[in-house]
Amino acid sequence: MTDGLRLTVDGVGHRYGGLQVLHGISLTAEPGEVMVLVGPSGCGKSTLLGIMGGMLAPSEGAVRCAGDVPPDCLNALTYVFQDFSLLPWRTVAGNVALVLEDRLSRTACAARVAEVLALTGLTDFATAWPRQLSGGMRQRVGIARALAVRPACLLLDEPLSALDAQTRDLLLEEFASLITAAGTTTVYVTHNLAEAVRLGHQIVVLSRRPGQVRDVVRVDRPLAERRAADPDLMALEQRLWRMIRDDAAVAERERIDASD
Amino acid sequence: MPRIDGPIAFRGGGFAPSDRTWAAVATLVGVVALWQAGASAGVIPTLFLPAPVSIARALWALTVSGELWKNLSVSLMRLAVGWIVGTVFGIGLGLAVGLWSVLRSPGMALVSALFPIPKIALVPLFIIWFGIGEGSKLVTLAFGVFFPTVIATAGGVDNVPRGLIRMGQSFGLSHTAIIRKIVLPAALPAILSGFRVTSSIAIVLLVAAEMIGAERGIGAFVLSAGNLYDTDNLLAGIVVLSVLGLLVSWVIGRLERALLGWR
Ligand SMILES: Nc1ncnc2c1ncn2[C@@H]1O[C@H](COP(=O)(O)OP(=O)(O)OP(=O)(O)O)[C@@H](O)[C@H]1O
Ligand SMILES: [Mg+2]
């Protein structure tokens, strides 16, 4: 494994009009590691992820990336979306081929589509339309599409939160092994602390708006060795919850003021 | 204390009309049969409204003599060319208005100002500009088709989910790839339902333009039959137009099914 991509967030702040959303954020997503962002609703997690992937220009500060990208990488910074963002007029295979079809030969494209469909258990659904799939299957297409471009960094914004609890548990395990196998640098935004302790090498706790880094917790146990009922992880989950509980309660009450 | 006692009555029915093809066919056949019966019985004055059988006979005669095709072919040609020209330019401007701020307000201002003009009123002007020949008819059709196409296309582009465009950007797709792979397919349902509107507008304008100044064409044929009090041929021409309308909407239906199968 060569040296992967390192993302360095340096003094990032962001304002929407007069609304200060992020303030003085400095973080480093280490090569091949998973950085999880948690924090109360509206604290700017999606905003920060948008800035990290170049989809939003920060009001202050900058994000730098440095390191090697996979040799056949077609899109270094690649998102997986909460709402899946599949094209309804393309089949599963068509969605996965979205970027490949313009950049690879026909046979290389077909081979890579087949490979990631197999990896995500979608082989039998290659010709299905998105509307025919359950939410869990749609998000598998989302992750297959992302893996197909051989990203150097995966950016996931609450990829499981539109799914029911059982599907979420199933996909969480699949994500864990896919991410471990791919070895890409990963930034994962979630509300769900169980997801955070299952996936994170670094768990970044943001304060309520304006979001600031409140704490960064390192979890050194390899992802492959983490078990759902692990007492250490459950204790960590409790600790994280105590950190954000008060902020979350206040943020919940602020929602009405923020939305008008 | 009020009490209830007894089986639960079903109250969830209704509000689900279903399609019955046989009823549709039976209605049309029934109306024609009644019409024929009324004409045969002398209740309907056939000088003013000829019987279906007479219309059919007239249609047959026109077909055999080649008169029908002589007029129909000219009309179909005008319809196809005028509609295609209006549609191509309309989709072009609609996309431009939907995609680029520079063109948006100027484009929409012109469209909003010109769209409400009844296009039939422009036929005499177009005859002055483009002559009595094919030019003025094609321009009338294209003009009438153009504006609704612009509006349908721009509306379709406006309603493309922002999230899908951002997805395309995040995957590094180029501007043209985003238009080709995301914007156009997402706007396609709106564009195709625009076709339904513009094809019927095109038929109306075709007939109007042919009535104002043409020697051939179904519109001209209907008008001259009327001038001669030849109601058999007049209605034969109208039947041809209604079949044409049905045919066009059938073609659009097929197109929708082929292109929008994913829905
Ligand atoms: N485009 C925008 N314009 C104005 N305000 C915005 C915009 N996007 C987000 N906001 C506001 O900025 C704040 C942070 O939004 P963001 O979506 O980054 O938070 P989040 O932590 O991802 O929230 P959630 O947990 O609900 O997903 C919120 O108060 C939101 O209302
Ligand atoms: Mg969010």
Residue B260 gets which letter from DSSP? -
**What angle is formed at CA B125 by the lines to CA B119 and CA B128, rounded to 5 degrees?**
145
For residue A214, with 0-12 CB atoms within 10 Å meaning exposed, 13-18 middle and 19 or more buried, which class applies?
middle
Chain A interface, Cβ < 8 Å to B: 53, 55, 74-75, 77-79, 81, 83, 85, 87-90, 98-99, 102, 129, 131, 145, 149
Is the pLDDT assigned to residue B17 strictly greater than 60?
yes
For residue B245, with 0-12 CB atoms within 10 Å meaning exposed, 13-18 middle and 19 or more buried, which class applies?
middle
The pLDDT assigned to A1 comes to 47
The pLDDT assigned to A255 comes to 65
Do A50 and A62 form a contact (C-beta atoms < 8 A)?
no
For residue A210, give both structure tokens: 């304006």
The pLDDT assigned to A203 comes to 97
Q: Do B167 and A85 touch (CB under 8 A)?
A: yes
Domains, chain B, in order of start with CATH, read 52-259 (1.10.3720.10)
The pLDDT assigned to B13 comes to 87
Q: Show pLDDT as tens, one digit a residue, over chain A (260 residues).
A: 457 899 999 999 999 999 999 999 999 999 999 999 999 888 999 999 999 999 999 999 999 999 999 989 999 999 999 999 999 999 999 999 999 999 999 999 999 999 999 999 999 999 999 999 999 999 999 999 999 999 999 999 999 999 999 999 999 999 999 999 999 999 999 989 999 999 999 999 999 889 999 999 999 999 999 987 889 999 999 999 998 888 888 877 776 655 54
Take atom 7 of ligand 1 and give the residue whose Cα is closest.
A16
In the predicted model, what is the mean pLDDT of chain B? Answer: 94
Tell me the CB-side half-sphere exposure of residue A145, using CA atoms within 13 A: 32
What's the gap in Å between the CA of A205 and the closest CA on chain B?
25
Q: Which helix (H) or strand (E) holds B21?
A: helix B21-40
Average pLDDT over residues B163-192: 96
Give the separation between CA A217 and CA A202, rounded to whole angstroms.
6
- Confidence bin at B149 (pLDDT 50/70/90): very high
- Confidence bin at B43 (pLDDT 50/70/90): very high
- Confidence bin at B193 (pLDDT 50/70/90): very high
Name the residue of chain B whose CA is nearest to A103's CA.
B173
Q: Phi and psi of A186, rounded to 5°?
A: -135, 135
Tell me the CA–centroid distance for residue A22 and ligand 2, in Å: 13
